[in-house]
Amino acid sequence: MLIIRPIRAEDYPALLAIAEASGHGFTSLPVDEALLKRKIARSEASFATEVTTPGSESYLMVLEDNGQVVGTCGIEAAVGSEDAFYHYRLGKDVHVSDKLGIRREVQTLTLCNDYTGATELCTLFLLPQWRRDQIGRMLSRSRFLMLAAFADRFSDTVIAEMRGVSDDQGSSPFWQWLETHFFGIDFPTADYLTGIGDKVFVAELMPRHPIYVNLLSPEAQAVIGRVHESTEPALALLQAEGFRCKNYVDIFDAGPTVECQRDGIRAVQACQQRPSQQVDSDAVSGDYLICNGRLPDYRVVRAGVLEGDEGQPLGLSDETLQQLKLQPGDTVWYLPL
């Protein structure tokens, strides 16, 4: 049975393997032993902490298939609470001369911290061998169960940064222009420094004034707001949940950031809470995500249920209850996959 659970210290080798497999542009998982171990420790502390309002908590989970860790997903409770959280805001500058009868509209990129305090969906990665049978959908959607079950831990606005366009060598057309004119370091280096939390160079070297998009190279202009081909399925899943790009892009690869109000996310609206009951395994059907709604020993599984009439206990097999570490009568949250 597929199980999603909080990451543990002993998962470090598996997390390192996932970080190595994720490639360039996956900022939230740099290949750095000290950083990855700090991420694990921070997540363990966050799951164990009593919270009434969102803060610096970071929840990192792993997908386990018969004991093997094959993917990750995470949630940052409130970005920018400990260090600056940057974006480019796409805007418009209008130049008009009535005397000459000339009007020009120019798109601009302005550095901002507008998403400070928002909850971020992050660190979604599934090893290639498991990209089948809607397992990626399970991993992505499982986070919405947590948003529903523990609303006080998260902000009203939920965002996700989508990986932008880069090649197999880690070269980003957008960053190449910034590198040439402002930074002097390549994209993998900038990406790595950000991943380990060293963002001071952004404030020191980033252009202090809005950038006119039409002055960028044609290659850089072409990738603004576009996602890496491997990220297209993840973007499609979020768009189906109601997420939209509101003209914010990443400062390194210009990938889009999408947002949705937490209570407006379709999966959050579809989540239901019921007491459980044990039923025979041949009585359950369908394809559902079910979470135990407990911290720190959080669990999400994918299984069939016996839904019954509204208000009735949700029927679960003995195996499902065991994997959720629950007894019949305990409350669960569930969501159709």
Cis peptide leading into 6, omega within 30 of 0?
A: no
Tell me the pLDDT tens digit for each residue of 279-298.
998 998 999 999 999 999 99
Tell me the pLDDT tens digit for each residue of 168-201.
777 788 888 877 777 767 666 766 666 655 566 6
The rounded mean pLDDT for the chain is 89
Neighbours of 182 (CB within 10 A): 12
Q: What is the pLDDT of residue 71?
A: 94
DSSP string, 312-329: SPEEE-HHHHHHHT--TT
Catalytic one of 24, 87, 95, 228? 228
Of the pLDDT bands very low, low, confident and very high (cuts 50, 70, 90), residue 234 is confident
Predicted structure pTM score:
0.87
Residue 9 buriedness (CB in 10 A; 0-12 / 13-18 / 19+): exposed
The question of whether 95 is a catalytic residue gets the answer no
Question: Please, what are the domains in the chain?
Answer: 2-86+113-267 (3.40.630.30), 271-336 (2.40.40.20)
Q: What is the pLDDT of residue 27?
A: 65
